[in-house]
Amino acid sequence: MPARPRIHPESRAFSALLGLLAALPTFGIDMILPSLSETAAALHVPTAAMGAAMAVYLLGLGAALLVYGPVSDRLGRRPAIVCGCLLLIGGSLGCAASRTLPQILLSRAVQGIGAAGPGMAVFAMVRDLFAGEAARARMSFVVLIVNVVPMVAPTLGAGLMDVGGWRLIHAAPLAAALTILAAMPRVAETLPCAPGPAPSGILRAYRKILANRGFLGHALCNAAAAGAVFAYITGSALVFVGALGFSPSAYGLLFGSSSLSVMAGAALNGRLAARGINSHRVIGAGLAGATLLAAMLLVDALVFTPSGVPVIAAMAGMGLAFGLVSPNAIHGATEAAPEAAGTAGAIVFCLQMIGAAIASDLVARLFDGRSALSMAAVMLGGCLAAIAAFAGLVRPAARPSSSRFPSQRHGEPV
């Protein structure tokens, strides 16, 4: 039987594969949200105890990222993807079969560890295969998927729960992992021939990357911007359902429609990249717009009667701005460490998850039960932190004398 043809990196099939890889980590975060109460009832535990199911997933995801990155630089991207998908399948089956809280917590941790492999590999693969404006455009697509999934996953989870209960929700990441595994024989290894750091040099590689101002500035800028976005993801549910009395279905439709703004931002960024617009200008414009919107929402929350209109406007504007900032920030970070793209991508994604988790927790803890004040304050804080990282670390590192790494593939300094 003749071998099936390889999936070419420029093909739509390869773009679909990148989308699946990027979506896997966030599937496990957001899709189970509608099922927490039903899962708690089925396991005979308080609903509040199910918060640990989110925490162990994030812990497993974040910790595993820091291992997958350098390992993929040594062994390749394909082993990281295959190993991660196998663990994700096992964790998903474990979640669906769980009968006690400890069982589902263990399975959720395995899910997180598994999802980290494909989630990290997608950033490294883009850096391996594409350069310059093509890399920026592909990174826009990846960031689009990463940020649209949290907006549609709760609705998809609710639909699966209506069909087959809370256990069926875990079939979605399992099906995605199986699809990726089926495609992997047709995907060539993207890691360059030269191996990355040996196991003994992993810590040295991390220190070298983190010492680079350009990398750290781009990575922290992206993490802080992600925090601002997750502030509105978490805060919007509290405001619309908890404070303004929207039904869950109405809120789901409203929230799902806000994904269009992220899509618009990513599409606009792709067009700007095609025209050769400098990525620093795009990041600066996105941060300026997001900060202005967050400040306006904060003033509205402090002065006026709570209303959904300014929150909707802020959600749309923040999604658009993030679609401009994040692809360029991630691309700038991975370009700053070309010889260790897997390790660099792991750090970027880990910092993004940390920023998102901190922002979500702050919004929930500070919510006053009636307004968008906590949402607006955390959004503004995230925007200001992103500006500080970009202005304080990225701009100085853009000068050739400041770069600790060799020039890029196109001869441009970091």
Q: The CATH number of the domain where 24 resides is what?
A: 1.20.1250.20
Domain with 285, as residue range(s), is: 204-401
CB 110 within 8 A of CB 91: yes
SS3 assignment, position 55: helix
Q: How far is residue 189's CA from residue 373's CA, in Å, rounded to a whole number?
A: 48
Among residues 196, 230, 254, which one ends one of the domains?
196
Residue recorded with tokens 């300026």: 288
Please tell me the distance from the alpha carbon of residue 69 to that of residue 74, in angstroms, as a whole number. 9
> What pLDDT, on a 0 to 100 scale, did the predictor assign at position 413?
35
Q: Indicate the pTM of the whole model.
A: 0.71
pLDDT for position 158: 77
Asked if residue 410 is part of any domain, the answer here is no
Quick one: tokens of 285?
């414009």
CA distance 290 to 20: 28
Domain shared by 279 and 322, yes or no: yes
Q: Judge if 163 and 279 occupy the same domain.
A: no
Residue 156 burial (CB < 10 Å; 0-12/13-18/19+)?
A: middle
Residues 234 and 375 in one domain: yes
- In a shared domain, residues 65 and 83: yes
Q: Per the structure, how many domains does the chain have?
A: 2
Region label for 230, one of left (φ > 0), alpha (ψ between -120 and 50) or beta (otherwise): alpha
Give pLDDT, residue 390: 93
Rounded-to-integer distance, Cα 185 and Cα 78, Å: 9
Q: Are residues 68 and 136 in the same domain?
A: yes
Please give the pLDDT value at position 259: 66
pLDDT reported for residue 402: 40
Domain boundary pick from 171, 196, 221 = 196
For 232-255, what is each residue's pLDDT tens digit? 877 777 788 777 877 756 776 676
The segments of the chain whose pLDDT lies below 50 read 1-2, 400-414
Residue 159 sits in the same domain as residue 11: yes
